[in-house]
Chains A and B, each alone.
Chain A
Amino acid sequence: MATASVMGHEGKWSFAASNAAASTTTFSGSTLSYAVVSDTVGLKDTLGYSRGLRGIRGQVVEGSRKTSTDISGTIVFEVSPKWLDLMIPYITSDITTPFVFQETLTNGFDYIRYDGIAGKSRRYNNCQINQATLSFNGEFVTMSLDVVALTETEVTYAGAALGTDITWEPYIPAELVFAAGSASATRNVESLTLTMNNNLQARRRMKLAPQCYLPGIRTITLATDAEWGSVAEAEMYGQIEDGYAASLTLTRESMNSVLTFNALQIPDRTPGITGPDEMLYPIQGFIRGTGVTADVSWTNDSTN
């Protein structure tokens, strides 16, 4: 008889705000559980090997040491209003709407992942989002979070103790409106990727593991491909260097999430003809503030 394996569908996730460097956030049955598409966050040790020569070709255990340890990975989820409620404050380090990226990081979040082994879960403390990528190229709007954490601990939460599942339908591309160009007109696009990178820097001096993460220069880029025609050319090609305001809106019933971009700068890239099909204008844009005006302002309403 085959030994039972742990199946991915047994995974379950709960998230909570982190409260301090040595977080003691309590998870309980009342904590909300969120559906995750994939999660690769985990411990990653580096085993270094000495350059010392020993008269033999083979490597020996005595020549190796653990030289660094990191906790990082990517959490992917389908974007729903409730997911955005949870994650926007951690992406922007802002706690009140309208959310704008802050200069200093919040305490981040803690989360527990139940891997399907009874009584064994993994807990990640003081998680920060290095990069958040909002995209669609298929059925659902998805978000990918590059996460770093300070500690990984094995805990005894059973899957059932990881809270009530927060059931909420994800947004679909048909609920997304993208406006850009000199006339701020709506653009129907084939795919879209918005990348918000906090460029976190690990502080690890004389330590195996990072002691904290520091915010670096933030970069926000938008890649998409708009329909190409005389109007699109007039409004999006040969733009002024300062760029134009743009926005990305997700809306369903009375719920919505609106990202307003102070300026979307689109370097010209002449679309080539690669075949008989419809021509698309490839956009690799940069979203930037002006003076002290924020690059992005983000509102989210999950109340239906």
Chain B
Amino acid sequence: MSHHIIELFGYTIHASRDLYSAEVFKDGESVKLTFTEPGAKKGDALAKAIEWAKHGEPEAEVTESEKE
């Protein structure tokens, strides 16, 4: 599946093609996963991943149940 790969602030952000989810990697290791909330715009997950990468700390951690 095609996806978006963006390098920002020392992180690599992988976003799904439909922009519903995004994953932030540091040195090849996944450090953050974001999702587009119900009702939010599709690019919301990517926007949140970029914001997270900028500040380098999670604003709201995604729980295991949300990941599933």
Q: Find residues 249-304 in chain A having any chain B CB closer than 8 Å to their own CB.
A: 249, 251, 254, 256, 258, 260, 262-263, 290, 293-294, 297-299, 301
Cα distance A301–B6 in the bound complex, in angstroms: 15
| Residue pair B9, A254 in contact (C-beta under 8 Å) | yes
Interface membership of A177, Cβ < 8 A:
yes
Which of B27-35, B37-45, B58-66 contacts its partner?
A: B37-45
Distance, CA A290 to CA B19, complexed state (A): 12
Where chain A touches its partner, the secondary structure class is strand
Q: What residues of chain B lie closer than 8 Å to A293, measured between beta carbons?
A: 17-19, 42
CA distance A97 to B5 in the complex (A): 19
Q: Is the CB of A184 within 8 A of B46?
A: no
Q: How far in angstroms is the closest Cβ of chain A from B1?
A: 9
Q: Point out the residues of chain B lying under 8 angstroms from A185, CB to CB.
A: 5
CA distance A185 to B12 in the complex (A): 12
- The secondary structure that dominates the B interface is mixed
Given contacts A100-B42, A260-B6, 12 further A-B contacts (CB under 8 A): A98-B19, A98-B42, A98-B43, A186-B7, A245-B2, A254-B9, A258-B6, A258-B8, A258-B46, A262-B19, A294-B42, A297-B41
Question: Interface on B for A, CB 8 Å cutoff?
Answer: 2-9, 15, 17-19, 41-44, 46-47, 50-51, 54
A interface, CB within 8 angstroms of B? 96-98, 100, 177, 179, 182, 184-186, 242-247, 249, 251, 254, 256, 258, 260, 262-263, 290, 293-294, 297-299, 301
